């Protein structure tokens, strides 16, 4: 897994910063998470291939999280996209996009599917051969979800040096070994799988939580997550504004990371009222040590 930040600031774009949007690479797939204004410009700038994206996840219907989506979908039509696009978002997003396409006489010439998110409890919304995506119900001024992406356990790796000690083991047996099966010789002797293979890498996980008030009950669902992106719109000195607008402070985001025993915390969704964003890292670092700040163009290996 690898996370790429396209935008990580709140409310309005500025000359050098953009609202929420990011790309998560999982194996050979690229997932687009939120689509704030200017998102496709950022995709171009950081050389992400448009046609590699097949799944888009929108947390909620505030403009700084989806205003870039209509332009992106229209561009895909212009560049001749043919494969499917799937959008996972609150139900009203489909109405909004179809209305805009109607009034602009835009015909989408590729398969476009909307998957409506309406549940207030976690639900599995995508299950592929290599990973799953489930919602993380959050609490904001409107219906909002975060997203938890988890790799599935990969097949075991062949221990070629050990296999060479047994001439009977041909290439034809490799897939069974990868799948965890023992090998039976012609004599009937069983060679245990663990003697011929190596364990696969530990599956990785990523949790995206933006926007939300401090909500510690999500910690059970995201327990032991490898990377947690959590909004930190405000500093603790403005926690009254966080409570009023149903956002979080850097300290509260760190509390979530600590309770969830996350491996690493990335802060984002910064309010423009703060000239020095390093204050967010300092404040969170007093609670949780492994903290980084999101920044346009920055990537995080998971």
State in Å, rounded, how far the first CA of the chain is from the last one: 5
Give yes or no: 64 in active site. Answer: yes
**Contact criterion met (CB below 8 Å) for 59 and 210:** yes
Query: How big is the CA angle at 293 (ends 291 and 296), to the nearest 5 degrees?
Result: 150
Helices 250-260/278-285 angle, 10° precision: 40
List the structure tokens of 203.
């599956």
**Beta carbons within 10 angstroms of residue 63's beta carbon:** 12
Structure tokens at 30: 């690229």
Residue identified by tokens 């909500």 is 215
Catalytically annotated residue among 64, 217, 224, 240 = 64
Strands 124-127 and 131-137: antiparallel
Using an 8 Å Cβ cutoff, are 157 and 169 in contact? no
Distances (CA, A) of 3 to 22, 108, 200, 292: 7, 29, 22, 13
Backbone angles phi, psi at 203, to 5 degrees: -60, 140
Rounded CA-CA distance 258/189 in Å is 50
Helices 69-78/92-103 angle, 10° precision: 50
Residues with a known catalytic role:
64
């Amino acid at each position: 897994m690898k996370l790429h930040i396209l935008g990580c600031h709140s409310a309005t774009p500025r000359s050098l910063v953009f609202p929420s949007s990011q790309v998560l690479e999982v194996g050979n797939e690229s997932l687009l998470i939120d689509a704030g204004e200017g998102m496709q410009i950022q995709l171009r700038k950081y050389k992400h291939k448009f046609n590699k994206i097949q799944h888009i996840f929108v947390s909620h219907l505030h403009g700084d999280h989806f205003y870039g989506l209509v332009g992106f979908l229209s561009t895909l039509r212009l560049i001749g996209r043919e494969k499917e696009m799937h959008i996972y978002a609150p139900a009203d997003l489909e109405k909004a996009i179809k209305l805009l396409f109607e009034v602009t006489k835009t015909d989408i010439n590729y398969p476009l599917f909307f998957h409506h998110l309406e549940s207030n409890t976690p639900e599995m919304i995508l299950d592929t051969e290599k990973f799953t995506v489930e919602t993380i119900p959050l609490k904001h001024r409107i219906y909002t979800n975060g997203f938890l992406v988890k790799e599935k356990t990969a097949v075991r790796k062949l221990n070629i040096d050990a296999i060479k000690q047994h001439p009977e083991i041909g290439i034809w047996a490799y897939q069974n070994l990868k799948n965890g099966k023992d090998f039976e010789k012609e004599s009937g002797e069983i060679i245990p799988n663990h003697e011929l293979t190596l364990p696969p890498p530990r599956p990785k996980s990523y949790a995206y939580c933006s926007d939300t008030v401090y909500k510690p009950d999500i910690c059970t669902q995201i327990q032991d997550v490898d990377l947690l992106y959590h909004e930190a719109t405000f500093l603790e000195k403005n926690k009254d504004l966080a409570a009023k607008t149903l956002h979080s402070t850097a300290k509260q985001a760190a509390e979530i990371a600590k309770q969830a025993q996350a491996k690493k915390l990335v802060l984002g969704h910064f309010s423009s009222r703060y000239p020095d964003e390093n204050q967010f890292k300092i404040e969170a670092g007093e609670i949780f040590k492994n903290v980084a700040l999101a920044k346009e163009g920055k990537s995080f290996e998971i």
